[in-house]
Chains A and B, each alone.
Chain A
Amino acid sequence: MFITPTGEKVFVIDGHTHFWDGSPANQLNIHGRQFIDCFYAYHTSLSPPDKLWPKEQFEKYTAEQMYHDLFVDGPDDMAIVQSTYLTEFYRNGFNTIDRNAEMAKKYQDRFIVNGAFDPRDGERALEYIHYMKETFGIKGVKLYTAEWKGESRGWKLTDANAYRCFELCQKLGITNIHVHKGPTIIPLDKDAFDVHDVDHAATDFQGLNFIIEHCGLPRLDDFCWIAVQETNVYGGLAVALPFIHGRPRYFAEVISELLFWLGPDKLLFGSDYAIWTPRWLVEKFWNFELPEDLKKEHGVDLSREAKEKILGLNAARLYGIDVEAQKAKLASYVHATAAE
């Protein structure tokens, strides 16, 4: 729960978090080391100096630390924890659904655990989707189209085997498809930031929501154009939001564009934990005002209502969370803990 400076309570769902193991013991090769090093560079280059973590802690942190950073020190009420396999880089994977679910079950009603699949696995991908639904009851997945696999250097949402997976997701009620379209790993030959495949998939699967993580930011122009035409396309603010600290004017320009093209109902807050911790992000976001010239030029405002939607209400709608009931439930746990 985020308490504003004027005392109002704001319900926060952190739309993008990770519980990873990037430690040397889990690294299979130099790619594993370089991958976590790259994340750490994101962390050090965009965090305020007093929020920096030591490298070792960043490589691997405990469930207790994560719970504390998100829900005790941090303002989150709930968090969506995404799964990323990267099994060619990490012995036990980077953050598999099994690892995430194991962590999440310790903290009732706090986490929404999302799965992941790779359409290039063909039949096995379909079986795996069934397995994740039956075992973990997932409502969403995170997809990484730039991931290497054997000879393949990436895939598209429009591939035939991806469409088979989406058909199954739609049928099973796995409705939230988070797609990493942003700064990416290993874009080899083609323009791996390209977002045009989202356009076709979103048109063809009206029963699914496509949440484009990092707003396709290196291709914000293309993304906005697609999102304005497709009612089921959303933007995740992870990576865009930390600019609020170092380059507030730039953040204002980005959020103005997004508000103009997508509107406040289509944007989701995400800290990208543990790259960044949510507390400072939410505090700065809540206190942020759009400069007058941008408000006037775009005809948009980052109002209180817009902020509440972005911080939690939009994600609650996508994941079927009854906010009032959830608040009451979480409050009862807090009271129960206090009474012990």
Chain B
Amino acid sequence: MATFLEHDRRTGEVWDRLALVTDPELDEPVTRLGFVELVTVDDQGGVDIVFRLPTYWCSANFAFLMADDMRRSVMVLPWVRHVRPRLQDHMVADEINRGVAAGSSFREAMKDFAPGETLEELREKFRRKAFERRQEVMILALRNAGYDDVSICLMNLESYDRSDFGEGEGAYQKPRYREILVERGLASLPGDRAFVTWSGDPIEPRELAPHLRRLRTVRINMEFNSALCRGLLGARYLERDGRSAELTRTGTRECVACPGAGCGQRQPAGALAGAADEGAGMFT
């Protein structure tokens, strides 16, 4: 039988894998958003993940994608044999949980509701938005660091890798932007341009300003969703936990009892507000 410490280590590994799963609409990790409530591991290589969303009505398609992405991401760990993501308090929780456990497609899982399409198109659409949002962060960081538009447009992957994007959002998004560049084949060799459009075209310096204007609306949407989702999640579970809404403004980020990724317990509801405050620099 695995020791307590071993369980703790494995739980931590699961949290690390879950941190790689994003809400496609918000382009933020599900762990950072406070969606994951509980992770438990058993001696047979089974992993149970309990998660919940800001409302009972949140898009079933995104819920399904997240549950399925969690399962796939955690399955990568060598000791894992079964992953059981379980969505709670959602209008189609049962369908989603059963479908993901069985490895069904969304269409199969939701057959009683007759969805008209697969999720691939949607996934593609939101991957593009994620790319654009991350790109805006990188370009603005370079502008702030004094780069002119010509240098930005001509920058190649090698100098991208060597550049310092400062602290905070720039540093956070640097590998995330690069990840999509490579994944989509938009840039892979050191001499390839680091800033191109989603269809792979170079951006001419005179086009950079209108290009940025478009990227900004993508960010505004994502920030709207993100702020709303965090607020709603906080309000929903604070009410259930019998706390006042005022707590959302004073909560702490870490679970006090057992800080760090190894903690399998749900973070205090105030953690959500902590996470929101962390992003507040982007808004206020």
Contact = CB atoms under 8 A, between A and B. Distances in A.
Nearest to B240: A37
A41 B236 contact: yes
A187 B61 contact: yes
Contacts, number: 126
A37 B54 CA distance: 11
Interface stretch (A132-140, A218-226, A329-337): A218-226
Given A37-B56, A188-B92, 20 more contacts: A31-B56, A38-B232, A40-B235, A41-B236, A41-B239, A44-B235, A44-B245, A45-B234, A49-B249, A151-B114, A183-B228, A186-B57, A187-B57, A187-B60, A218-B25, A220-B220, A221-B214, A247-B280, A247-B284, A250-B224
Contacts of B232: 38, 41-42, 45
B227 A243 contact: yes
A249 B283 contact: yes
Given A189-B106, A224-B217, A250-B284, A49 B246 contact: yes
B185 to A, nearest CB: 25
Contact of B218 (A41, A151, A221, A248): A221
B57 A45 contact: no
Interface string B240-271: 00000110110000000000000000000000
Interface string A141-175: 00000000001010000000000000000000000
Contacts of A240: 224
B137 interface: no
B239 A248 contact: no
Contacts of A247: 227, 280, 283-284
Interface of B: 25, 54-57, 59-61, 91-92, 106-107, 110, 113-117, 119, 122, 125, 214, 216-218, 220-221, 223-225, 227-228, 231-232, 234-236, 238-239, 245-246, 248-249, 280, 282-284
Interface of A: 31, 34-35, 37-38, 40-42, 44-46, 49, 52, 55, 151, 153, 183-192, 217-221, 224, 240, 243, 246-250, 253-254, 257
A184 B92 CA distance: 16
A38 B57 contact: yes
Contacts of B227: 243, 246-247, 250
B144 to A, nearest CB: 13
Contacts of A254: 220, 224
Nearest to B232: A41
A191 B123 CA distance: 11
A217 B226 CA distance: 12
A52 B60 CA distance: 30
